[in-house]
Chain A
């Protein structure tokens, strides 16, 4: 069950249009954070440490749709915070679908089953639930700071798949992750009918409670090389083939932070989803006034030195797919299996 053809075609035509127009920097996925409040306090997350009044703030559906139109990216990843705690998340989803965006709603799934049963969402090719699962039961419950989270997430996946929703998972890997323990989990997810698995090394947020287990670049490549070396044909990853090569260390990409611009209650976040170095009032201002040359591994910025996360580097992989012969050939080979 690969990504639907309409989604692949939409993304491809968006990229080709940008290239024809000679755009060097263009967005691919809008990272929308409609609220920063969460019902978990994960060890590796630096997103939710704010005063109460900030955590109570929500973007309205109108704000969300305006941001999507301003930026023009064909895909929207709704993150946060926990989007299902947003009182108007259904309105946001409906608004974005009406604007023909493909949505990945990233959730810890604690509230998903009850909201599906309440009819808050309807299956649509443009809506995918991306369920947070940081490993098998013990690792996930430890990472999320709460026992029982894994079982709730698995139940929610079953319910969503049964109701005909598109479902993917996202797994962030930290130091100490054991590839041999992830393999049975990935088998289980495929058996449950998950469309694809997203994997990413954790980013060392300055405000994350646990600072001791983030991966350095070399360790990231070693871990993903081992994990992907064990990959079965049945495992489907929700990534471009070149991004998987990048995680393995077979190719190198510079970050394209503008590929995944972030919009939240403060505005357009500079320069990326992970760093908070100021905010722009408009998308145009973000693109024009951010000093992009100060970010990415080549810049020498220490905050970027070990970062290999998908926001930023997946956009580079997609760009390389369309602009290099080797990238195109690699993608075609992967498509042919």
Chain B
């Protein structure tokens, strides 16, 4: 499922847990919405503890760190872009191959 740019609300417990797993693996920012409507946006870098102790940790754009209890999470949003999902490698390999072919062609 493509999650970049999407926002999920009114989550069941199972969907919430699945999306938090996805958020932990996501390399863009995420927005965590809590039951009281509070929103926190930052990079989710940790998801630890279990049961009632489970919490996610975010590094915020101002450099602060915040931990949110998983039980309080009611919605999750994902930034428009996942920094690990680019095409720079493919573009580079295409360019490199073109250059190499040109060099090999000249020396033949």
Contacts A53-B61, A145-B88, A209-B89 hold; do A279 and B46 have CB atoms under 8 A apart? yes
Contact B89 A43 (CB under 8 A): yes
Cβ-defined contact, A278 with B48, below 8 A:
yes
Which residues of chain B are near A279, meaning CB under 8 Å? 45-46, 57
> Are the CB atoms of A49 and B92 closer together than 8 Å?
no
Q: Report which of B27, B29, B48, B93 forms a contact with A49, defined as CB distance below 8 A.
A: B27
Q: Which of A125-140 contact B (CB under 8 A)?
A: 138
Give complex CA distance A105, B97 in Å.
Answer: 32
Interface of A is mostly: loop
Q: Mark A31-69, 1 if CB is under 8 A from B, else 0.
A: 000000000010100100111011001000000000000
Q: Is the interface of B mostly helix, strand, loop or mixed?
A: mixed
Asked if B59 CB lies within 8 Å of chain A CBs, one says yes
Could you pull out 30 A-B pairs where Cβ atoms are within 8 angstroms? A41-B88, A41-B89, A43-B92, A49-B27, A49-B83, A50-B27, A50-B43, A51-B79, A53-B42, A53-B43, A53-B59, A53-B60, A53-B61, A53-B63, A57-B59, A57-B63, A141-B96, A145-B88, A145-B89, A145-B92, A147-B96, A206-B25, A209-B84, A209-B86, A209-B88, A209-B89, A210-B89, A278-B48, A279-B45, A279-B46
Which 3 interchain pairs have the tightest Cβ spacing? A49-B84, A209-B89, A53-B61
User: With contacts A41-B89, A209-B86, A209-B88 known, what are 15 further pairs, Cβ within 8 A?
Assistant: A43-B89, A49-B83, A50-B43, A50-B83, A51-B79, A53-B42, A53-B61, A53-B63, A57-B59, A142-B93, A147-B96, A210-B89, A267-B46, A276-B45, A278-B47
